[in-house]
Amino acid sequence: MNKYAQIINKLEVELEEIKLSNEDLLIITEKSINTIQTCLLKLKSITQNSKFDKLADEIIFFKSIKPAIVAKLIYQVKLFNIESKHIAGTKDSQIEYLEKSIVKLQEYFNDNQEIYIYFRRNDTHLDHHYFLVKNKNLRIHPDNLLSISEEKFTTTHDTTYANFIANSMLIKYLNGEIVRVQKNIDTEMVSNSNTQSSNLFWTGNKVDLVELIYALHAASVINRGKVGINEIASIFESIFNIEIGGYYRIYLEIRLRKMNKTKFLDTLKTKLLKRMNESDC
């Protein structure tokens, strides 16, 4: 694996230099795309001109090394497309656009639930089917249809893994952009408020809080439904002195539950009914 290290390290340095160039974001993405493609061509040349010493080495390359690089390429391409269509407007319209972009990215996880669960758990029992070149024609995943002719440089699921990584990176970036757009609003709210910081702390787990936040959003009971998930989450973070973090990812995990998707809400209902019944006694 050391034969790839020098190429990958050089790529990281070049991408960092491009990022620090202070050029327009679209120019940065274009330059990054070209740099990553050059790196992939070098990796492809190595794999086509030499054999892996062991099957385990081949699996590591197509499960971890190549997807990590391809993910950078997918990230830059999708970022370019998102930002090139991101027209300046009101804060609400910008936030709406960014949230819709996140939803589109999340759909990929939903459409590939089985392999995503395998990815998240870092399972290994199907690696010899998913990440060996000799098996690529057994069951080609749609992500790899365009690269079916890439002999010795594609497997059935390496591009799928790359998309998981890239989409996660993009969702994190877009969440940051939402916070950035909201920052002025939040600053105004704080400066115009005479209230002290909350002394309340959320002592449950984050998953339960996210379930509650999405339920309130789905019910359209805040601002008649004209409010984003990120705004509701931000307020809850402030009230309960907690950093929720990737609530979109947490929500996806809730959706993937095979049983009792509304576990926390059901618990709330049960406990409230119990209190009501005890009060009637």
Confidence of residue 77 (pLDDT cuts 50, 70, 90): very high
- pLDDT tens, 41-70? 999 999 888 888 899 999 999 999 999 999
Can you give the residue ranges of every domain in the chain?
2-182, 195-280
Euclidean distance between the first and final Cα of the chain, in Å? 71
Tell me: the pLDDT tens digits for 222-265? 888 877 888 888 889 889 888 887 777 788 888 888 888 999 99
Rounded to whole angstroms, how far apart are CA atoms 214 and 264? Answer: 12
Q: What is the pLDDT of residues 163-206, one digit of tens each?
A: 999 999 999 999 888 888 887 654 444 444 444 567 788 988 88
| Least confident residue range of 26-35, 94-103, 146-155, 239-248 | 146-155
Provide the pLDDT for residue 227: 79
pTM, to two decimals? 0.65
Q: What is the pLDDT of residue 143?
A: 59
Q: How sure is the predictor about 21, in pLDDT bands with cuts at 50, 70 and 90? A: confident
Percentage of the chain exceeding pLDDT 70? 88
Q: How many CB atoms lie within 10 A of CB 53?
A: 9
Rounded to the nearest angstrom, the gap between the alpha carbon of residue 91 and the centroid of all alpha carbons in its chain is 23
Torsion sign across C-alpha atoms 188, 194, 199, 202: negative
How many beta carbons lie within 10 A of that of residue 92, not counting itself?
14
Cα–Cα dist 215/211, whole Å: 6
Q: How far apart are CA 178 and CA 185, in angstroms?
A: 11
Average pLDDT estimate for 96-100 = 90
Tens of pLDDT, residues 111-159: 999 999 999 999 999 999 999 988 765 555 555 544 444 667 889 899 9
> Contacts for 35-42 with beta carbons within 8 Å, 24 or more apart?
35/11, 36/11, 36/69, 36/72, 36/73, 36/76, 37/73, 39/7, 39/8, 39/10, 39/11, 39/69, 40/69, 40/70, 40/73, 42/7
